[in-house]
Structure 1
């Protein structure tokens, strides 16, 4: 159906109302969150659909510069996750992991009567991390990764001096929460690794043209709700993503993936390698010699934007020549 009806019969059949179904599903999420509040259940014990709405958000502002980061595995089945590993990838490409000798430590934290595994990493200098990859033990017969939280101890001065002596367990602030299917959800079985992109890690700009019809039809709250199937819409979505990139900056492959992933709605997992290729195919980015990264092709981006401005009734004509190079 067209989504406007309420399930009227047609030729002896029934037309499913998409609007009504979405209302019921959204209401179910709100109901689950309300139950969690009443029963004091933490967000990580909720079904996946409700975790995205209930998980706390970081209140810190600015880029998350720190020497110490940690991943807290939010599951009461403590022993099941012994041996999990992860690696933090910094902006600039450096990696801190158990294998790289970056003072990796595995420990435990106790919160609200629960005991969790915490994986901590220490960088020698203040660092901004763009992502963390969490992996289940390689020899586990039925790997399952739980919801997890990423914390950091902010570097207050950024001086690069020796790490201060901070007592264990103090000074930690929330950076991000990663919803994952609960133990009761069947689709959780077999998930052995997950890639989590961290907020505010890469320098980007807010584009001026997101209200144009070709963009607005693809966006939900300023983010891409899906990757379109039609080529014309794919080109518009790729242009929308490219407008967040600074024209005079070299972006590493991991940073391009960060830009892609953080501009999709949290419930969607984009195919970053495919979209990276779309940037090049559309003439919006060029790869540096030797695989050193990507830079914006400003003339190509301006040409693509001008084509959209020429056909959009709400286009701001007075600024059309400067949007792609701002």
Structure 2
């Protein structure tokens, strides 16, 4: 069985043993998987003597076998993989022991039965394969933490990411007005085609561009490069949710301006199985379709990693594992 791994400081393909579904486990034959920015960071933080780790947290496929004691899913079921490990019920923060799944850039994976959910029927394999991690992240940030409401204006810096492509659709489904930023004119156009009401150049004067807007909620993931700029255009008493930092992690904050502005700041990451199910219901109800910018084969996994690292994509990058 072929897998794309990080081993001994290098990215490589490796033949792995066929997995076996023991008690409470299921085997998923993966049809498609999704790349995320964490797949780029994992090799950087692992040692040069580290054993083989199969990369990938997102995936979708078909249940090939089930172990004893499994009753919720059956052989032949089409499923998406839950990338959040040991986080079942919604909570203010992930519980002790929470981790993010690895191991989907392979032909088959064995998981606990509660790590899979039924695939939304309207999605293709490529769409389902890129769904879970970024859509769950966006869903929690927008609804659980951001408490988006009908009539809100939501500002999303960095319109091209996979999470942003879900945030735009989810916020519009909730009845919100959506504003995005990007340095790329093409990505600004694509965001508006997806449903954004307004797009601005990241390099523009944000207060001037948004002087006629009242921004109720900012969903931030860029980090130092945009954090204070986002705070500047947020209304007094407004809400900011931060779920990532693609630029530098550390920001300088004017505390006096912050507490006089009565701003509300929330951290967010991933989401629980309860939220995943709510997200999948939302996707099915509103017929949300993930934006797949480009699909690579498993043999092209390293090229796909390079493409994601360039940051030129709008939406998600998929790996086709099998037909």
Compute the TM-score of the two structures, normalised by the length of structure 2.
0.29
- Structure with greater Cα Rg: 1
Greater RCO (CA < 8 Å, at least 6 residues apart) = 2
